[in-house]
Amino acid sequence: MALFSLAIGLLLAVVCLYRGWTRAAWVVPGTALLTLWYMRVEDSVAWWVVAVPFALAVLVLAIPAVRRRLITPRVLTVVRGILPRMSETERVALEAGTIWWDAELFSGAPDWNQLQDSVKIELSDEERAFLDGPVERVCAMTSDWQVEQNGDLSEEVWEYIREQRFFGMIIPKSYGGLEFSAQAHSAVVAKVSSRSTALAVTVMVPNSLGPAELLMHYGTDAQKDYYLPRLAVGDEIPCFALTEAGAGSDAGAISSHGVVCKGQYEEKEVTGIRLTWNKRYITLAPVATILGLAFQLSDPDGLLGDTEHLGITCALIPTDLPGVKTGDRHDPMGCAFMNGTTTGEDVFVPLDAIIGGAEMAGKGWMMLMQCLSVGRGISLPSLAAGATQLSSLAVGAYATVREQFGLPIGRFEGVQEALARIGGKTYAVEATRAVTAASVDAGEKPSVASAIAKCYGTEQMRQVVIDAMDIFGGAGISQGPMNILGNGYRSLPIGITVEGANILTRTMIIFGQGALRCHPFAQHEIRAAADNDVAEFDRCFFGHVGFVFQNATRALVHGLTGGMLASAPYGGWVAQYYQGVGRMSAAFAIAADVAMGTLGGALKFKERITGRLADTLAWMYIASACLEKFRADGRPDRDRAFLEWACQHALYEAQQGLVGFLDNLPARPVAWGLRRVLFPFGARYRPPSDELGTRVANALLGTSEACEALTQSVYRPDDAEPGLGLLRSTLAQVMKSREVTARIKDAIDVGKLEKKPKHDVVDRAVEAGVIDKDDRDLIVAAQEARDRAIQVDAFPSSRETAGSTR
| Residues with catalytic function | 499
* 458 to 21, 299, 440, 505, 702: CA distances (angstroms): 41, 41, 19, 12, 27
Beta-carbon neighbour count of residue 60 at 10 Å? 13
Residue 651 CA to residue 298 CA, distance in Å, equals 50
Buried b (16+ CB within 10 A) or exposed e, 487-514: bbbbbbebbbbbbbebebbbbbbbbbbb
Residue 585 CA to residue 579 CA, distance in Å, equals 10
Residue from 25, 9, 99 nearest 543 by CA:
25
Residue 680 CA to residue 577 CA, distance in Å, equals 20
State the number of CA atoms in the 13 A half-sphere of 754 facing the CB.
Answer: 6
For 139-196, the DSSP string reads: HHH--HHHHHHHTS--HHHHHHHHHTTGGGTTS-GGGTS----HHHHHHHHHHHHTT-
* 120 to 112, 292, 455, 618, 784: CA distances (angstroms): 14, 33, 23, 21, 46
For the chain, helix, strand, coil in percent to 5 are 65, 10, 25
Radius of gyration of the chain (CA): 31
CA angle 794, 337, 151 (to 5 degrees): 45
Beta-carbon neighbour count of residue 690 at 10 Å? 12
Residue from 103, 792, 191, 31 nearest 514 by CA:
103
Residue 195 CA to residue 593 CA, distance in Å, equals 45
Coil/strand/helix, residue 317 = strand
Beta strands in 405-529 (DSSP E): 407-408
With a CB cutoff of 8 Å and minimum separation 6, the contacts of 310 are: 297, 298, 299, 304, 361, 362
The answer for 800, left when phi > 0, alpha when psi is -120 to 50, beta otherwise, is alpha
Residue 235 CA to residue 251 CA, distance in Å, equals 29
Expressed in angstroms, the distance from the first to the final Cα of the chain is: 87
Residue 806 CA to residue 336 CA, distance in Å, equals 9
The sign one gets for the Cα dihedral 506, 510, 511, 512 is: positive
Question: Helix 52-62 crosses helix 27-42 at what angle (to 10 degrees)?
Answer: 160
With a CB cutoff of 8 Å and minimum separation 6, the contacts of 72 are: 534, 537, 538, 541, 542
* 265 to 56, 74, 350, 359, 665: CA distances (angstroms): 76, 60, 7, 20, 60
For 250-273, the DSSP string reads: -GGG---EEEEEEEEETTEEEEEE
Q: Which residues pair with 385 in a beta bridge?
A: none
Q: Of all helices (H) and strands (E), which one includes residue 129? A: helix 125-130
Secondary structure letter of residue 562 according to DSSP: T
